[in-house]
Homo-oligomer: A and B are copies of this chain.
Amino acid sequence: MIISELADRSGTAAATIKFYVREGLLPVGERVGGNRTEYTDEHEHRLRLIRAMLEVGRLSIGSIRQVLDALDRPDAPIAETFEVAQRALARTTASDTAEPSTRSLGRVDALIDRAGWAPECHDNVGRGIAAQAVDAFANAGYELPDSYLDAYADAARRVATADLIAVGELADPSDMAELMVVGTVLGDTLSLGLRRIAQAQVTSERRLS
């Protein structure tokens, strides 16, 4: 299809599509005949992906590029793909923040051990992110008790279980990596939205008790 049809079908302006091509987010279309450039369903599909990451995931163009590069490795095992997606996305969450303290890293490691989680969890990119949050709470004057961290870890495990089931149910193998990436970005947003609603729920329960 020509660019105007791609624009119509994807709901993205032609000028924006050309911008994405220039930025390396979208592959160049195929030159056909004299002056025409042909785009495919793959372009449309990738455009939708970019919009999801940009608008709701609020990723930068650079981060989106890294994530899309990570997606172009179709044969990697599932655990590696989750990790590649996580690491590519991690730059948007932790890049210009102070390194986590040894103390907070120790607290997160202890949390992982209390939960009985696998040794490789200690190498996961989330360890540093969680430790930075623990540090930030401490710097603001709040030492989080282990019980708070344990409750969050329990919730995180339920979310991750749902993520893994969804990857199995919603995506055929060639789409798994893509769903993991989309899911990592959008699942965070879904979580924070539901957390706020749930806070309304638990405070309403308190008023009644």
Contact = CB atoms under 8 A, between A and B. Distances in A.
A187 B147 CA distance: 14
Interface residues of A, number: 96
A118 to B, nearest CB: 4
Copies in the complex: 2
Interface string A187-198: 111111111111
A68 to B, nearest CB: 13
B127 A198 contact: no
Given A117-B197, A142-B182, A152-B159, A164 B48 contact: no
A133 B202 contact: no
A60 B60 CA distance: 15
B153 A198 contact: yes
Contacts of A153: 194, 197-198
Contacts of A159: 151-152, 155, 195, 198
Contacts of A194: 126, 130, 152-153, 155-156
A42 interface: no
Interface of A: 45, 48-49, 51-52, 55-58, 78-79, 82-83, 86, 90, 93, 96-98, 108, 112, 115, 117-118, 120-121, 124-137, 139-145, 147-149, 151-166, 169-171, 178-179, 182-184, 186-207
A136 B52 contact: yes
A199 B164 contact: yes
A205 B193 CA distance: 28
A182 B143 CA distance: 12
B161 A56 contact: no
A190 B152 contact: yes
Contacts of A118: 200-201, 204-205
Contact of A162 (B127, B134, B148): B148
Given A55-B98, A130-B193, A130-B197, 9 more contacts: A48-B141, A56-B135, A126-B193, A126-B199, A145-B169, A148-B165, A153-B194, A156-B194, A156-B198
